[in-house]
Amino acid sequence: MSAKPLSVSAMAHRLDGEASEVWAVHDKALERKSAGDDIILLCVGDPDFPTPEPIFYQALAAMKRDRTHYSPAEGELGLREAIADLESKTSPHPCSADDVVVFPGATNALFSVFSCLCNPGDEVVVPDPMYVGYCGVFDAVGVKTVPVPLLAAQNFALDMDAMKAAITDKTVAVIVNTPGNPCGNMIPQEQLRELAAYTRERGVWLISDEVYSMITFKQRHRSLRASAESLDNVIMVDGLSKSHAMSGWRIGWVVAPPALVGHLTNMAGASIFGCPQFIQDAAAFALRYDDYYVAQMRDEYQKRRDFLVQRINAMPGVSADMPDAGMFVMMNTAKVATSGQAFAEQLLAQTGVSVVPGAGFGEVTEHYVRITLAQPIPVLTDAMDRLETMLSVTQAAAG
């Protein structure tokens, strides 16, 4: 009697090759760099700053105190209180530790949220372009995404009428990312309030991904919780990877209504069984500590942003709007290439500079490439010099 073939789940198949096309240029750049080629990587939004020393030493001290054991599934009380205090200071709505669940990173937090809210086939409305990591979350859960184009001509502003029109009886949730990745757009408080009220009226969850909330240049961030009149359907996701250069520490969280917190805690218990105690202690310290280091990093990102946009807009055939927040600049390549993908491949092949094609984020940015600010200005200068040389040669060859 022959054994039946071994199999894997439908979810595993949905995730096959999920991110390969988006990161193909980056992967090729890594291969060339490993082979010794002179490559400049401008793809990933991983802060190039070290985690601030006081946070590091808090983790070390916690380990010396034997804070290396299991933690509650929902997260350590000290960290949840620090998160709640931060939310209470920036919102008219009070927040308590009971409203918070801690996860190993914001992406895992999002996966847990959508796993609790959605069944396969449910619809989720999302602005286009969107953070590429959402694709894996949505594929894993099996939801159908309904993309709503941002207004590229208005620095990627949210089209409120289109967002409302996209919500149907099949819609379970709407997600917004403010400040946004990849475009650095910030959704105005009035629009957040309007969207919160409309989704509540339609019986739809509204999730706000706010991991870039502390990296804003034009104005201070106003969260969804601070904007909404009612929090019955409002879920906020945040983390420390970007703001505190703690991407490898893997700390994120969800602030949600009581009706959902219990389910999220069950999800955490079934999947992660709590984040490390010493990391949570360091994260709590990071949120309560003076934001001197956060401000330093933010100021440096702003200098890099200003430098990149100025250089790009002085070159022939390409352009970039000034992002209000975040760690990226989007460069429009429509006048010099058939697509952002083609441009990124040409740029890597001819200059050794690696950027992310915009099509990976959505149709709206098909003719864009994303450039990270997570490199020091001397490296960005070298990259822009190479880009300018390539464009000049291309322009001269075209006659």
Q: CA-to-CA distance for 49 and 246, rounded, in angstroms?
A: 9
pLDDT tens column, 257-292:
999 999 999 999 999 999 999 999 999 999 999 789
Residue of 51, 103, 106 whose CA lies nearest to 296: 51
| Fold held by 67-289 | Aspartate Aminotransferase; domain 2 (3.40.640)
User: Could you state, in order of their start, the residue ranges of all structural domains in the chain?
Assistant: 10-50+292-391, 67-289
- Confidence at residue 399, expressed as pLDDT on a 0 to 100 scale: 63
Alpha helices by DSSP H, the chain? 10-14, 24-34, 53-64, 77-90, 106-117, 133-141, 160-166, 189-202, 224-227, 258-271, 277-288, 292-313, 340-351, 377-397
Top-level class of domain 10-50+292-391: alpha beta
State the DSSP code for 224: H
Q: CA-to-CA distance for 173 and 122, rounded, in angstroms?
A: 9
- Confidence at residue 30, expressed as pLDDT on a 0 to 100 scale: 96
Q: CA-to-CA distance for 329 and 188, rounded, in angstroms?
A: 20
CB 179 within 8 A of CB 186: yes
**Percent composition of the chain: helix, strand, coil (DSSP 3-state, to 5):** 45, 15, 40
- Confidence at residue 345, expressed as pLDDT on a 0 to 100 scale: 97
Task: Collect the ranges in the chain with pLDDT lower than 50.
Answer: none
pTM score of the predicted model: 0.95
Torsion angles phi and psi, residue 392, rounded to 5: -65, -40
- Confidence at residue 1, expressed as pLDDT on a 0 to 100 scale: 66
